[in-house]
Amino acid sequence: MFRIALVAACFLLAVQSHPIEDLLQQPEEGGQIWAVIIAGSKNWYNYRHQSDVCHLYHLLTKKHGIPKKNVITFMYNDIAFNEENPHQGVIINALHGKDVYEGVMIDYMGKDVTPQLFLDVLMGKDMEFGSRKSLKSGPKDTVFVNFVDHGGPGVLGFPAGELHVADLTKTLQTMYMDKHYKQMLWYVEACYSGSMFDELSPDMNITAHTASNTKESSYACVKDEEMDVYLGDCWSLNWMNNTEQIYPNLSKETVEEQYEIVKNMTTHSHASIYGDLTYIYKEPISVFLGHPGSAIEVEPVSDWDYIYKPIPSQDVMMEYLKSKRDKSFDVEETEKLDAEIRYHILTEGKVQEVLDQISRQVTGSREMDTVFSRHPQTIAHPECNKGVLSAFFSQCYKMQTHPYITKYLYRLTNLCNAYNVKNIVSAVTDNCNCN
């Protein structure tokens, strides 16, 4: 109880107090820089997502000069004081061995980290939760959005829900029509993250960098052996590392240049870019990431036991369970972990069987089933994609508790390119109710 009270007190203090630098603005032709940063996961084995966001918060506010009142942070906040954390109250990121949790003002945490609340904040709606901060940007302002979590074809994960490409696209269109920004830059770390922006119009003054293309996993990197977790995501570590290497000269590297540099650094997934590749492409990254002063801050050299080990994000949970089981000397705990591992191994196979049954019911033949199961196709019907995946997540298996299922979800989304959404959802219901 004391720990919970302490965390709550620190949160309220952070929300209610703004240092004097927050009253200052870095004008860009009369506008301001706004940032919305979000870790969309929970649970200890997803440590890296909150670690990346905490590190970024300090980069944007402490080093890059963006006022804290202009940075809106979503984070479940179950890592720093997690019972498995040997360093209570501390979160570290792979780039440096220092604590990145201290001083982070979390505006929305726990049950408030939802897709709808995230979209409401983006649209600048008046909020009644958390810190009540919202994106109050206007036609002269630039907006930077960073999302870090799991993803699937046309979907991004949240602790207890999903953000679908259909809903994100509508929100971005509304923001554009309402002149809610001058230019907007998205950096998205998730599997299949390219599928969220593959059809993004180049005429809305939005550019999106993604950790992976439309058909592949993103990767976790840098394992801490003591804590048995990954401290960052490969692509996110690469772009933040590049930003720190050129600090404080952010005005001398363009969005295009950073994209090309980070794409070459990211060797296990295909970093991709979408949207406006004309104007924003040529802007200095300082337009979105802040205008540092001239004083260079030297970061301490890390003394933590890191192992650079890229792994598909979909497989991190299973590796964590197996590693924990190998290190366990408690018979009861070992038996429990063995049972959990067996469950997930069997479930991954069962998911593929269920998808076989759904596809055959919808297509009516093994031959057509083969066509739609061969490889991921473009998401041509986002509303169908949303309806089908929502049905599967609610009636079959959830992405948050079974992250490995994202390897196979394209088999459902492919069906939307040729079949009626009602028929597909009906097949999902029929086959999931039998399992």
Q: Which of 54, 191, 396, 416 is catalytic?
A: 191
| Residues in CB range of 330: below 8 A, 6 or more apart | none
Based on the residue annotation, tell me whether 64 is a catalytic residue of this protein. Answer: no
Residue 408 CB burial class (10 angstroms; 0-12, 13-18, ≥19): middle
| Residues in CB range of 65: below 8 A, 6 or more apart | 21, 26, 290, 291, 292, 293
Based on the residue annotation, tell me whether 434 is a catalytic residue of this protein. Answer: no
| Long-range contacts (CB closer than 8 Å, 24 or more residues apart) made by 30-33 | 30/140, 31/138, 31/140, 31/141, 31/142, 31/182, 32/67, 32/70, 32/137, 32/140, 32/141, 32/142, 33/66, 33/70, 33/141, 33/142, 33/143, 33/144, 33/287, 33/288, 33/289, 33/290
Q: Identify the bridge partners of residue 146 per DSSP, sorted by sequence position.
A: 37, 187
Q: Which of 150, 164, 381, 402 is catalytic?
A: 150
Q: Which phi and psi angles does 233 have, rounded to 5°? A: -105, 140
Residue 384: both structure tokens together? 């169908």
By annotation, the residues acting in catalysis are 150, 191
